[in-house]
């Protein structure tokens, strides 16, 4: 079977896309063309144009078999999770993808799919460098406000809203993540002992993790490329949407890869203060440094397992991971 290459999920055939279009819009509907939208690692994403000129986004999840061949965190049900995240974050509906058709019963093809409205605006990285200082600060402050509102959505358990394991304790979800990464290391010829060390340290530091008692909704992949901004009539940037929520789950907000503690470059350094102004600040808590080190190690491990699955070089990431786990060991 083919291995998914970087930015190249397994593609649907033209016949499959035609079948999806007929299912969504009726037997009279005709597809003019479907253009691949780059950047995705998991789903097959197309900009479809109908014969009428209508344009929509088609996202097709991996099949069960494809997901099973991937790392432990792959899922064929990510689009179902995204719909549940959108429902949970109802107050943010104006910023989230609008689904106009979907099929999770797999009546036409062996994968889940959704058709969504095209998100207005452009990805933030396309505009960020073109904005003056005031406009740039405004855009990042709005991202902070959105993130705060997302994290204000509470859950009754830790884990994805649907189609995944749920846990009463945050440490148990982290342990599940770490155990999956150990299995991935064995499958993809990564240094297993390094991942076993991470799992062991996470377990020994469970009391620190369990200081987090309130599950809060996180995007879990809130990178700038998933944030859309449009310019209004007055020339001001306005947050227009956030996409790709299929890994959203109820978790510790500090695991979101954003300031103040855990920022892997998702917010440019000059914009951290404006992001935090929008977010509303952060009240430091005991154990923040330990928890964010665990999250950093798991985040690096997720990327390493993806690269190993894609048969790409993992050495730089493994070097970073080794350094983080060594520092984490100092807290045990």
Per-residue confidence in pLDDT tens, the chain, 332 aa? 223 344 345 688 999 999 999 999 999 999 999 999 876 678 999 999 999 999 999 999 999 999 999 999 999 999 999 999 999 999 999 999 999 999 999 998 999 999 999 999 999 999 998 999 999 999 999 999 999 999 999 999 999 999 999 999 999 999 999 999 999 999 999 999 999 999 999 999 999 999 999 999 999 999 899 999 999 998 899 999 999 999 999 999 999 988 666 566 788 888 999 999 999 977 888 899 999 999 999 999 999 999 999 999 999 999 999 999 999 999 88
Taking the alpha carbons at both ends of the chain, their separation in whole angstroms is 43
Cite the residue boundaries of each domain of the chain with CATH code 3.30.200.20.
14-116
The pLDDT of residue 9: 57
Q: Which of 86, 84, 77, 85 is nearest to 59 (CA)?
A: 77
Q: How far apart are CA 153 and CA 88, in angstroms?
A: 7
Contact in structure between 222 and 264 (CB atoms under 8 Å): no
Phi then psi dihedrals of residue 163, to 5 deg = 55, 50
The pLDDT of residue 261: 61
Alpha-carbon Rg for the chain, nearest whole angstrom, is 20
Helix pair 288-309, 170-187: axis angle to 10 deg: 30
The pLDDT of residue 286: 87
304, two tokens? 């390493």
Cite the residue boundaries of each domain of the chain with CATH code 3.90.1200.10.
122-329
The pLDDT of residue 211: 97
| C-alpha dist (Å) from residue 130 to 35, 189, 304 | 27, 43, 33
**CATH assignment of 14-116, among 3.40.50.10320, 3.40.1080.10, 3.30.200.20, 3.40.50.300:** 3.30.200.20
The pLDDT of residue 73: 95
The pLDDT of residue 322: 96
The pLDDT of residue 58: 97
122-329: CATH number: 3.90.1200.10
């Amino acid at each position: 079977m083919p291995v998914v290459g970087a930015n190249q999920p397994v593609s649907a055939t033209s016949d499959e896309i035609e079948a999806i279009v007929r299912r969504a819009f009726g037997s009279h509907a005709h597809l003019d063309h479907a253009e691949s939208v780059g950047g995705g690692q998991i789903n097959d994403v197309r900009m479809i144009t109908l014969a009428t000129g209508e344009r929509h986004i088609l996202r097709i999840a991996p099949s069960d078999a494809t997901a099973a061949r991937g790392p432990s965190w792959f899922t064929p049900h990510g689009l179902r999770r995204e719909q549940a995240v959108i429902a949970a974050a109802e107050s943010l509906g104006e910023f989230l993808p609008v689904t106009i058709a979907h099929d999770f019963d797999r009546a036409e093809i062996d994968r889940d799919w959704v058709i969504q409205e095209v998100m207005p605006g452009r990805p933030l990285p396309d505009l960020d460098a073109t904005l003056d200082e005031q406009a740039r600060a405004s855009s990042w402050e709005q991202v902070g406000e959105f993130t705060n509102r997302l994290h204000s959505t509470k859950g009754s358990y830790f884990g994805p809203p649907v189609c995944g394991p749920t846990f009463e304790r945050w440490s148990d979800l982290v342990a599940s993540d770490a155990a999956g990464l150990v299995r991935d290391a064995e499958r993809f010829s990564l240094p297993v002992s390094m991942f076993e060390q991470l799992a062991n340290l996470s377990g020994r530091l469970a009391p620190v993790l369990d200081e987090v008692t309130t599950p809060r909704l996180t995007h879990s992949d809130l990178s700038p490329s998933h944030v859309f901004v449009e310019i209004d009539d007055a020339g001001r940037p306005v947050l227009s949407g956030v996409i790709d929520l299929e890994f959203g789950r109820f978790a510790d907000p500090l695991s979101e890869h954003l300031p103040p503690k855990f920022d892997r470059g998702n917010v440019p350094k000059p914009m951290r203060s404006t992001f935090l102004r929008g977010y509303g600040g952060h009240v430091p808590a005991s154990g923040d440094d330990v928890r964010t080190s665990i999250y950093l190690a798991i985040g690096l491990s997720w990327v390493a397992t993806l690269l190993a699955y894609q048969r790409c070089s993992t050495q730089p990431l493994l070097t970073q991971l080794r350094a983080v786990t060594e520092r984490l060991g100092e807290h045990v």
